[in-house]
Chain A
Amino acid sequence: MITPLIRKLSQAVDFSDDDLATLTRLTSRQRTVGPRTALIHEGDRPGPVRLIMKGLACRYQSLPDGSRQIVALLIPGDFCDLHVAILDRMDHSLGTLSNCDIVEIPRAAVLSLIETSPSITRALWWATLVDEAILRNWLVNKGRRQADLQLLNLFCELLCRYEVAGLAQGDTFPLPLTQEELSDVMGVSVVHANRTLNSLREAGLVTFEKGSVTFPDRARAYEVAEFDPTYLHLTRRR
């Protein structure tokens, strides 16, 4: 079975049949988690490594004033916390946004994968580097771009990522977020997040329908958003 995980990691590595069997076996036991549910909190001791198979989840940090900043959106095929398999404490929290199907891979299984399969190790390393690159782009977006371009740039990124996971439909991708959650992603007030959505819609750059986003003209959106997908590393090093 070609899961979103295998589709994604195959961007980086050609897997052997054994590797594919291993990856499929790892993700065979899934459980469903309801929307807006915490998976693990900052400060907790990391348990199993979680992988999103279906739905949308996020990494976030809570602030003393009760607000929070979402620092990553996790779509099918994304590991929530691969890197914490070797760390002692969670430095951020994880939670679902929509209904999610999640796989929990025991820490020991992840560590033994690393010892037995160089291809999978290389693919996991690649996935971690791409996660870091995405975070860098978010930082540039937040630090240096106006909110409308920040948001449009994020939408461009999500469309590319959903395409890799095999879950985009043409120029449409799912975005099951409330405006409050979107404001936690953007780091602006919910009123301004709403203004920003409206301004993108009025400019004809995106349309919204039933929890999904569509680009009427993807090339124009990329240009306006100054979006260059290089940082997603979707082409293989030769």
Chain B
Amino acid sequence: MPRFYLDTSDGDFKITDHVGYDFADRDEARRLALDTLPDMARDKMPDGDRRDFICNVRDEAGKPIFTATLSLIARWLT
């Protein structure tokens, strides 16, 4: 099974994955990346008007193959 590396950042706390996960195909890695973002967003108190939660996937060779961003954007209307 190919190995994929999932790097994450919430703007304050960035983690580079050195261990990786074994998946049947890259779609499984994509799904885990997408599953992870709401968990990350739930845990981070909004302390400003904008925060980006990012999960990037690298393949076995370390080449970036997928990126997902969940953005929290707040603004006053009046």
Contact = CB atoms under 8 A, between A and B. Distances in A.
Contact of B43 (A147, A190, A202): A147
Q: Is the interface of A mostly helix, strand, loop or mixed?
A: helix
A148 interface: yes
B32 A188 contact: no
Interface residues of B, number: 15
A192 B39 contact: yes
Contacts of B21: 190
Contacts of B42: 146-147
Contacts of A194: 15, 17
Nearest to B6: A191
Going nearest first, the 4 A-B pairs with the smallest beta carbon separation are A192-B39, A191-B36, A189-B36, A189-B35
18 contacts: A146-B43, A147-B43, A148-B43, A188-B39, A189-B32, A191-B6, A191-B8, A191-B32, A191-B33, A191-B55, A192-B8, A192-B36, A192-B39, A195-B13, A195-B15, A198-B13, A198-B15, A199-B13
Interface of A: 146-148, 188-192, 194-196, 198-199, 202
Interface of B: 6, 8, 13, 15, 17, 21, 32-33, 35-36, 39-40, 42-43, 55
